[in-house]
Structure 1
Amino acid sequence: MAPRDDRPEVKFCDAPGMPDPGFYSHAVSLNQTNRLVFTSGIIAQRPDGSFPESLEEQAKAVYNNLQQALEKSCASPRDVIKVTFYAVDWSLEQGEVLIKLFLDFMTDEHGTTHRPITTLIPVTKLAITGAKLEIEVVAAVGGHASRYAGPSIRSFDRPVAPAKVDVVVVGGGFSGIQAAWDVQKAGLSCVLLEAKHRIGGRSRSQQLQSGPGIIELGATWINKKTQPKVYATAKRLGLDIVDQYTEGDEVWQFQDGTILRARPGSPEAEQMTQFNVALCEVIDGECQNIDIRRFDEFPTALDVSMETWSESKGLSDDMGKAALKFFTSAVVGRDPAEIGMHYFLDYIKSGGGFISIATEGEDGAQSLKIKQGTSAIATGLADEMKPGSIFINSPVDNIHQTAEGALVHTATGDKIFCRKVIIAIPTNTYGMIHFSPPLPHDKRALVSRTKPGVYAKMILTYSRPWWKELGLVGKFSSFRGPICFSWDISDHTRKQYSLAMFIAGEIAAKWATLNELQRIEAVIDHLSQLLGPEHAHLAKDSVLEVNYVNWPEEEYLGGAPTSAMGPGMLSRYGAALRQPFKHIHFAGGETAFEWKGYLEGALSAGSRAADEVIAWAKQEDLIRKVSANL
């Protein structure tokens, strides 16, 4: 099994001009996206064991070695948060030299000096004779997920953030990247601040360790016919689009443990089809009463939980309850008792209906894959932006609005004044930002009650596509779990054979209580069970690599694929979801009208928020021109 991308990592660094090991840096994981880098024993010893005579020469060598240590730990002087100096025979005269060289080291190419916490400890001597200065540094940097190895992403160059721009976009998911791309194309100055160590949000395309091929740990599919914006963007970026594999039998497991292999045209398949059609007709029939752009017209008395609604529709038998729970968990990562009927029907209609969301093929949401990975869309857009306009590892923690604009603070110490802010993060994470003045009541009431989806995705990569050899399409569905549903995400041109296993809802919450090895064992054991005794060994014997993400554990996201709402929330507060607040505009996939929770919706919502800002800019420009002529 290949290591997951969020595990702690230790790096030992050698620097030119120092005997091995000379110094080391040790990276310790703080959480799933951030880590501390500790450096120790950084001195100025030459390869022959000697030292420069003067403190100034030694200090220059020490800072040079520190630079090497930081770079090898994927850090920079900008990331330094704590410095400890050990100086021999300290004096104020020495201090002037030492401090001047240190400030030079901490000053970037744009003239900004970063000032971490420092401690000076005078000593009579150091461990190695001849050393006059030793330094220890602690830096805080991002985590270890491999970034998509595609375009150069010039906008990731790390200059200091500008003090003033027209627009700040908060959040580097698809919606934020699209919004920033749009406002820059309109001629406005813009920076994007992303809290995590990567862009792409709930998309995570990752290179396999066991061989060629890219797997999708997040968003995976697009559609040419029903999702025009994301499809057109992928084509414009020159990405390779391939059809989802759809040939073969499906395997179903029902609540009582019965396992059914459904061959196309067989009585078993017909039975499943009839049941799905019946459920589809009930849900799609109710969707006809939904206006996805008007939220206050839905009858309040009917906006009960999906569980209560299903009982009123005669879906109260064990099969009906299990099927609805399966479907709501698969779609939004929540059980029927947690979801309001209005919200769920609005979500289904926004995706074109039950069949559209649940199927593959020309009209299905699981229609097409991107050979380079969906994250290539985000990195492709980023690569077209102005260099130096995207800042990762930059969580926003405070937005203070004034009459002229807003001052945006990051946890890393940057302060940027802008005329407009676009918030493009999940609504369940708004609480991580202090808004001054506070958000309006209705928006606050809504975002404080949205429920991020409980969702995990595990990719099992095999040495051969044994499911196709058995005549299976790769779709394993279970009402019991831990596997809830799956798809084949192989790339035969690269001899990459992978199955994507989804764990959702209450089942995912229980599965998450296991440790890492138990989680993997549970999924593989379940797949073996679904295959039956004769073929069970295939699920276990040829595994090359296992990768997974449990999305509720992802900091700054908290779940996937979206955030759901309970009864009454959408009718009461839906209009506030997208409504600007003074200088702040709101994007993010949840704010989309069509295709909420999908890449299409995220891009569309980003463009909608950008259009609001661009329209304001045009109006401001008109006002300036009129004023100039008076």
Structure 2
Amino acid sequence: MSDVVDVVVIGAGLSGLQAALDVHEAGRSVTILEARDRVGGKTRSEVRPDGKGIQEIGAAWINDTNQSHIWDYCKRFGLTAVVQDIQGSVASEDAEGNCHFFPYGELPRFAQSEVDSIQAIRDQFEAASLDPETFKQPKRGELDRITLEQWCRNAGATDLALKTAAVWCRGTLGQDPCEVSALAFLEIARGALGIVNLRHDGKHGAQHLRLQEGTQSIAIGMAKLLPPGTIKLSSPVSSLVRVSSKLCLVRTANGQQIKARKVILSIPGPSYKNIAFDPPLPPRKFIYTTAVRFGCYVKYICLFKTPFWRDLGACGLAQSFRGPLNHCRDTSVDALGNYALTCFLASEPGRRWFALSEDDRREAIVKQLGALFSVGYEKVQSELLGTITTEWMQDKWAGWGCPFPAPPPSTIGAGEDGDWLWEKAGNIYFVGTELTNEWRGYMEGALRSGKRGSRQVLADLLLDASSL
């Protein structure tokens, strides 16, 4: 069958590119079909209007110690790491709008009883996420039947501790703790080496480094390692037919038809709805892809003349129980005069903010930043050069959301440690940053998932050949 490619990969994000590279390096033929007119998936780096460097519309943070795959590419492509600023104070706003600063690495200056409750919930969550027994039956099933909010209540959380957990959950998923399986969030924390490391911006933490050239440059570099013509852009897949146990027919919306021995699906769960599967996906996979969902998650990047927040000893990190922003981080690159705060609008406060007019959105954020950093509205307004807003919720190829989807209760608790989530369906295989136990939701997780998928495919190709 000379007209049959060994592997078709659907999606040119990091997991799809990694899988394709592994297949190519193993001497197998591979074609990538990508719906967009670019590679990178949810890595998307946008040049500032004034040309002073880039800001990240999508995935932004890495580290150089426990994220070995992504860091290897950074070194290979000669990319410039920017250390996330944690020198100074964090700004905090309570539900009534009262603001204060506290040192990075400590807890907000609430009443001691509340601080103790927050610390107790954090420590219990840390212990549970790092305990292997948490993810085995019957505990696994029990945790999947309750929400993260119920888990916190069962652990004795006070109202303020629940609000703190909401900041974690909103900041990670754009969803509230009452919407997400407790098991799912514990798995996310486990994959990042604990809830503390998941939220940490220092060495070894999930938000330690950014890239001056932009994270999309990794995907662009990976694409260049593949033979010319491997990647077909603007080629959304419309249907996927399993002709037999050893042959698939992939059709695109623009009329292409490709026969493949194996297909690797590297797109977010909610965007499976864009493809007609014949035969349908297995029942458990179908239930997962219809139940898993994105929350409301918007980046609103404010570009400034100077890093004015540093004048008060602030590092640019802020969190709010009130909204509209859930948290923000300094995403400046000082060497380029690229000064910015990236504000994250999430969940219900984010939805209310997103419904406002463009001018009212800006007003709301400027006022809140002025209060958070104790400089006032006029100061922030005078420093503001412009804004960039992400629009992932309008992107069907992203699954209408960002950064990665999470399941509600009673979706993923079956089996042992969730391996069924990436079980193959005949000669179709599933990868993506949501389908990994390590660094789920991060670029590192995407690469690891891509490598896992390619190993499955290559092993089965050898089995197929030996059975002829």
TM-score (norm 2): 0.93
Decide whether the 8 Å contact of 1:178 with 1:606 is kept in 2: yes
Which residue of structure 1 aligns with residue 42 of structure 2? 202
Decide whether the 8 Å contact of 2:144 with 2:184 is kept in 1: no
1:436 aligns with 2:298: no
SS of structure 2 residue aligned to 1:556: helix
CA offsets per residue over residues 425-468 of structure 1, 9 Å max, x none? 00111111110011111111111100113211011111111112
Which residue of structure 2 aligns with residue 538 of structure 1? 379
Paired residues for 1:44-193 under 5 Å: 164-193=4-33
SS of structure 1 residue aligned to 2:264: strand
Whole-Å separation in 2 of the counterparts to 1:549 and 1:298: 35
1:609 aligns with 2:449: no
For 1:481, give the aligned amino acid.
Answer: G
Structure 1: 5+ residue stretches without partners = 1-161, 625-630
In structure 2, do the counterparts of structure 1 residues 264 and 522 end up closer, same or farther at CA, with 3 Å as the change threshold? closer
Decide whether the 8 Å contact of 1:263 with 1:269 is kept in 2: no
1:471 aligns with 2:302: no
Which residue of structure 2 aligns with residue 358 of structure 1? 199
CA offsets per residue over residues 467-503 of structure 1, 9 Å max, x none? 1222210112111111111111111111111111111
Correspondent of 2:369 among 521, 524, 527: 527
Correspondent of 2:440 among 596, 603, 609: 596
SS of structure 1 residue aligned to 2:422: coil
For 1:429, give the aligned amino acid.
Answer: S
Decide whether the 8 Å contact of 1:292 with 1:346 is kept in 2: no
Decide whether the 8 Å contact of 1:296 with 1:572 is kept in 2: no
In structure 2, do the counterparts of structure 1 residues 273 and 466 end up closer, same or farther at CA, with 3 Å as the change threshold? farther
Bigger Rg over Cα: 1
Whole-Å separation in 2 of the counterparts to 1:333 and 1:198: 25
Whole-Å separation in 2 of the counterparts to 1:296 and 1:580: 25
SS of structure 2 residue aligned to 1:420: strand
For 1:599, give the aligned amino acid.
Answer: M
1:461 aligns with 2:295: no
Whole-Å separation in 1 of the counterparts to 2:424 and 2:144: 29
In structure 2, do the counterparts of structure 1 residues 266 and 203 end up closer, same or farther at CA, with 3 Å as the change threshold? closer
Decide whether the 8 Å contact of 2:165 with 2:177 is kept in 1: yes
Correspondent of 1:401 among 230, 242, 251: 242
Decide whether the 8 Å contact of 2:167 with 2:319 is kept in 1: no
Query: How far 1:277 moved relative to its partner?
Result: 3.2
Query: How far 1:168 moved relative to its partner?
Result: 0.8
Which residue of structure 2 aligns with residue 6 of structure 1? none
In structure 2, do the counterparts of structure 1 residues 295 and 394 end up closer, same or farther at CA, with 3 Å as the change threshold? farther
Decide whether the 8 Å contact of 2:392 with 2:401 is kept in 1: yes
Decide whether the 8 Å contact of 1:207 with 1:214 is kept in 2: yes
Decide whether the 8 Å contact of 2:315 with 2:330 is kept in 1: yes
Decide whether the 8 Å contact of 2:433 with 2:443 is kept in 1: yes
Query: How far 1:538 moved relative to its partner?
Result: 2.3
The number of equivalent residue pairs is 461
Whole-Å separation in 2 of the counterparts to 1:572 and 1:464: 52
CA offsets per residue over residues 215-265 of structure 1, 9 Å max, x none? 111111111122111111211222122311111111100112111122469
Structure 2: 5+ residue stretches without partners = none
SS of structure 1 residue aligned to 2:340: strand
TM-score (norm 1): 0.70
Paired residues for 1:471-490 under 5 Å: 471-490=313-332
For 2:28, give the aligned amino acid.
Answer: L
Decide whether the 8 Å contact of 2:66 with 2:204 is kept in 1: yes
Whole-Å separation in 2 of the counterparts to 1:600 and 1:266: 27
Decide whether the 8 Å contact of 2:134 with 2:140 is kept in 1: no
For 2:330, give the aligned amino acid.
Answer: D
Which residue of structure 2 aligns with residue 15 of structure 1? none
Which residue of structure 2 aligns with residue 336 of structure 1? 177
Query: How far 1:384 moved relative to its partner?
Result: 1.0
Decide whether the 8 Å contact of 2:144 with 2:411 is kept in 1: no
For 1:262, give the aligned amino acid.
Answer: F
Which residue of structure 2 aligns with residue 245 of structure 1? 85
SS of structure 2 residue aligned to 1:577: helix
CA offsets per residue over residues 270-301 of structure 1, 9 Å max, x none? 96976653332021122244468757752437
Paired residues for 1:201-350 under 5 Å: 201-263=41-103, 276-290=118-132, 298-300=140-142, 303-315=145-157, 317-350=158-191
Whole-Å separation in 2 of the counterparts to 1:419 and 1:293: 34
Which residue of structure 2 aligns with residue 421 of structure 1? 263
Whole-Å separation in 1 of the counterparts to 2:108 and 2:444: 35
Whole-Å separation in 1 of the counterparts to 2:254 and 2:107: 61
Whole-Å separation in 2 of the counterparts to 1:267 and 1:559: 31
Decide whether the 8 Å contact of 1:455 with 1:550 is kept in 2: no
Whole-Å separation in 2 of the counterparts to 1:496 and 1:555: 31
In structure 2, do the counterparts of structure 1 residues 370 and 266 end up closer, same or farther at CA, with 3 Å as the change threshold? closer
Query: How far 1:202 moved relative to its partner?
Result: 1.5
Decide whether the 8 Å contact of 2:239 with 2:276 is kept in 1: yes
For 2:47, give the aligned amino acid.
Answer: Q
For 2:272, give the aligned amino acid.
Answer: Y
CA offsets per residue over residues 308-337 of structure 1, 9 Å max, x none? 22221221x331221121111112221111
Decide whether the 8 Å contact of 2:118 with 2:160 is kept in 1: no
Whole-Å separation in 2 of the counterparts to 1:311 and 1:286: 15
In structure 2, do the counterparts of structure 1 residues 299 and 227 end up closer, same or farther at CA, with 3 Å as the change threshold? same
In structure 2, do the counterparts of structure 1 residues 196 and 541 end up closer, same or farther at CA, with 3 Å as the change threshold? same
Decide whether the 8 Å contact of 1:290 with 1:298 is kept in 2: no
Decide whether the 8 Å contact of 2:144 with 2:181 is kept in 1: no
CA offsets per residue over residues 358-399 of structure 1, 9 Å max, x none? 111112101111111111111110011111111222111100
Q: CA RMSD in A?
A: 2.3
SS of structure 2 residue aligned to 1:400: strand
Decide whether the 8 Å contact of 2:32 with 2:232 is kept in 1: yes
Whole-Å separation in 1 of the counterparts to 2:30 and 2:297: 33
Whole-Å separation in 1 of the counterparts to 2:437 and 2:170: 21
